[in-house]
A and B are shown apart, each in its own frame.
Chain A
Amino acid sequence: MTGATADAAPLLQLRGVETFYGKIQALKGIDIDVNSGEIVTLIGANGAGKSTTMMTIFGAPRARRGRVVFDGKDITALPTHLIARLSIAQSPEGRRIFPRMTVFENLQMGASINNFAHFDEDLERVFTLFPRLKERAPQRGGTLSGGEQQMLAIARALMSRPRLLMLDEPSLGLAPLVVKQIFEVIADLNKREGLTVFLVEQNAFHALKLAHRGYVMVNGLVTMQGTGAELLARPEVRAAYLEGGH
């Protein structure tokens, strides 16, 4: 585990966050901490509120109650684009590649918050991580395969040199080999560069093996938390998310 010193305040802190879609309450008061240098995962079934948690951090939708604090700053009421400019990057649910922009332009979009300072260097870096994207650079985003789109979504997020990288189900719908490759890249970035990662996954086995700590979410509430290894060993977690193959 990298330098998450015990006394330092967490990089990201959610306290009693409640989010609603109209009258329907999606998050029922959740507390989550992500320390600098950690990989933290949030696992849970479909519809538990994982993606809502990700989007609530960005204020879209906005938390109705509770607080979201990033690096000591309360960002609960900040407009979405200003939250992004604090160097929080997200590879969102459904990847949301710009389909009628080239791969290169998609990556340029990722770099817009720091005004293309060190753009070439960062481009070289993501092309090294995902050589496939280099081949596809002049192609339109919409013509990529699912795995390539996922790589592009992560690469686009990395182009902003994020202090916190949020990934929403990077394994969804991908071949096991591609999933393995993507998880290796995440682990590697965390180890070598100390990148802080907040990972939402349905693929609990892989996610918990990768993460330092994890949270389990059920129906808009965090029901369990612990280190990745602890959660993997818990019978409830095994029964709900791991039995029947992974």
Chain B
Amino acid sequence: MDNFLQQLINGLTLGSIYGLIAIGYTMVYGIIGMVNFAHGDLFMLSAFIALILFMILTQILHLGSLPIAFFVVLVGAMALTGLWNWTIERLAYRPLRGSFRLAPLISAIGMSIFLSNFVQVVQGPRNKPAPQLPNHVFNLTDGLGGAKGAYSVTLSVRQILIMVVTTVLLAAFWYLVQHTSLGRAQRACEQDRKMAALLGIDVDATISITFIIGAALAAVAGVMFVMYYGVVNFADGFVPGVKAFTAAVLGGIGSLPGAVLGGLLIGLIEVFWSSYFTTDYKDVAAFMILAITLIFMPSGILGRPEVEKV
């Protein structure tokens, strides 16, 4: 039971990160029917941006306050990663819109390779360690008579921070999509781009904003990732990217709650499998459950049957 509780905490933390990345996949897919393969690498890039910003703040500007540094790093990484994705969309995807279906997809694979290689060249191929930050760990089994020596259930400040920031941002994001005119324009473009234009919506601008928002959420995940694991390298975009994409498909691609749910599920499956069986096959387990789910629910858990988009 103690182990279960501990793995639940770990799984939700990891799942939050996957969920944040998955939203970017699902939003872009929803609005232009394209899988942005560069999204995982963007996540990796944001982790580097966060590290660089943190170094600038603490080493060059000698900022003493960690909460302020964290906040600035988070906002800065969101803004810069958003700018990157905006540029990528402008240069690599928009000119190909209206061309054949595979063209932007191939372009996205190209951008993925470009981003990871770019980071490898400018930052070097080795793991970059994040500075050690104080991380208070709460022992949840204290005062419950201890855990009979086997386990104690812990919850760290970092884990709390990850879950709280994720929840707050998702709530803000949900409000934006459901209750603002920008979100309404976005949903309109997702449902019928031509009609949206007939109603005076600037479709290109709406798509740009979608890329910026998706990247900003991936950047939040990137900041969390480097803070949680304490290390990042140029190839770290690939596996989390694939997992987050899996999460988006599992939850039902195009569905925002689906992306979050899928992310949490993938995180939990991975962590529980590692804990109860073996870490070797944790990815196999995640993908197996995806395959089984898609056999019985081809449009994902919360997805709607989609016939017109491929």
Write the residues of chain A forming the contact surface with B, with a CB cutoff of 8 angstroms.
58, 60, 79-82, 84-85, 89-90, 92, 96, 98-101, 105, 108-110, 112-113, 116, 156, 160
Contacts and interface: CB of A to CB of B under 8 A. Distances in A.
B198 interface: yes
A81 B202 contact: yes
A96 B198 CA distance: 10
A80 B195 contact: no
A98 B200 contact: no
Interface of B: 181, 184-185, 187-188, 191-192, 194-203
B24 to A, nearest CB: 21
A220 to B, nearest CB: 21
A60 B197 contact: yes
A113 B199 contact: yes
A105 B190 CA distance: 14
Nearest to A59: B197
A96 B192 contact: yes
Nearest to B199: A109
Contact of A96 (B181, B194, B200, B201): B194
Nearest to B197: A80
A160 B200 contact: yes
26 contacts: A58-B198, A60-B194, A60-B197, A60-B198, A79-B197, A81-B200, A81-B201, A84-B197, A84-B198, A89-B199, A90-B198, A96-B194, A96-B195, A98-B187, A98-B191, A98-B195, A101-B188, A101-B191, A108-B184, A109-B185, A109-B188, A110-B199, A112-B181, A112-B200, A113-B199, A160-B199
10 cross-chain pairs, A with B, having the tightest CB-CB distances, nearest first: A84-B200, A113-B200, A80-B197, A96-B195, A85-B200, A98-B191, A81-B197, A81-B202, A81-B200, A109-B199
B303 to A, nearest CB: 12
Contacts of A60: 194, 197-198
Contacts of A58: 197-198
A138 to B, nearest CB: 14
A21 to B, nearest CB: 14
Contacts of A113: 199-200
Contacts of B202: 79, 81
B197 A109 contact: no
A103 B83 CA distance: 35
A92 B198 contact: yes
Contacts of B192: 96, 98
Given A60-B194, A84-B197, A90-B198, 14 more contacts: A60-B197, A80-B198, A82-B200, A84-B199, A92-B195, A96-B192, A98-B188, A108-B181, A108-B184, A109-B201, A112-B181, A112-B200, A116-B181, A160-B199
A155 B114 CA distance: 48
B184 A109 contact: yes
B207 to A, nearest CB: 12
Given A98-B192, A98-B195, A112 B187 contact: no
Contacts of A160: 199-200
Contacts of A85: 200
A82 to B, nearest CB: 8
Nearest to B206: A81
B298 to A, nearest CB: 19
B200 A99 contact: no
A108 B184 CA distance: 9
A96 B199 CA distance: 11
A80 to B, nearest CB: 4
A160 B203 CA distance: 18
Contacts of A101: 184, 187-188, 191
Given A98-B187, A101-B187, A112 B201 contact: yes
